[in-house]
Amino acid sequence: MNVSVRALGQTVPRRGRLRRCGAEHAPDVAANVPDTLVLKRHRDLEGYHRSVIWVRRAVLALIAAFAVLGLLNLFGQRPVTATANADAASLALYAPAHLRGGLLFSARFHIRAKRDLKKATLVLDPGWAEGMAINTIEPSPVGEGSRDGRLVLELGHIPAGSSYLLFMQFQVNPTNVGRRSQDVELDDGGTRILHIDRTVTIWP
């Protein structure tokens, strides 16, 4: 915007400025570079071989892949259901098949009696206790024992047409890594009724 001022027969041009509201207080958009960083080296990667750049990208992709696999339940602890049926009863086991060191988890054993089970007994492979801390068993078994190295939990009488739920809470020992057999057998006294074949994988 030009403004003319007439004085003593002369015209003196005066140039004005348009000011925007707050322009004098506009923040500086250029951030200061930290003293320990060199933009050409750390941002633009000058001087690096292309293979080094791809190694960095591969490491980041590997970290992201582990996170995705964790979301897909590869490392636990989402429970899965395993079932077995027989003429006398059926059994549904609800427990994780993949675990991690230090993890707390639960297992649910659901027995449905099709006839009277006078002395229902669960027989568990050693993998249920090896490298595991058994925190609680609810309801408490009538009796406990061992049979050829396997855990024996005596549940007592289950009438025909009724159900029995047993809950067990565990914690994985941090040094317990690998695959463990966790087969489950349901007996009536000394008579085997059914069997569930199961293996658990434990990650570090």
| CATH number for the domain harbouring residue 87 | 2.60.40.3670
* Predicted confidence (pLDDT) at residue 20 exceeds the cutoff of 60: no
Q: What is the pTM of this model?
A: 0.68
Same domain, 169 and 110: yes
Q: Which amino acid is at 45?
A: L
Domains: count for the chain = 2
**Residue 181: which of 200, 195, 204, 203 has the closest Cα?**
200
Percent of the chain with pLDDT over 90: 59
Same domain, 39 and 140: no
pLDDT at position 67 is 75
* Predicted confidence (pLDDT) at residue 4 exceeds the cutoff of 70: no
* Predicted confidence (pLDDT) at residue 88 exceeds the cutoff of 90: yes
pLDDT at position 142 is 96
Q: What is the mean pLDDT of the chain?
A: 84
pLDDT in tens, 133-166: 999 999 999 999 999 999 999 999 999 999 999 9
Task: Considering only residues 88 and 3, tell me which one the structure prediction assigns the higher pLDDT.
Answer: 88
Residue 160 lies inside a defined structural domain of this protein? yes
pLDDT in tens, 37-87: 777 776 767 766 667 777 877 888 888 887 777 677 666 678 999 999 999
Same domain, 55 and 131: no
Residue 145 lies inside a defined structural domain of this protein? yes
Same domain, 131 and 195: yes
C-alpha dist (Å) from residue 64 to 60, 61, 113: 6, 5, 47
Same domain, 83 and 166: yes
pLDDT at position 26 is 47
Residue-range definition of the domain harbouring residue 60: 34-72
**Three-state DSSP class for residue 34:** coil
Residue 64 lies inside a defined structural domain of this protein? yes
Residue 128 lies inside a defined structural domain of this protein? yes
Q: Are 203 and 101 in contact (CB under 8 A)?
A: yes
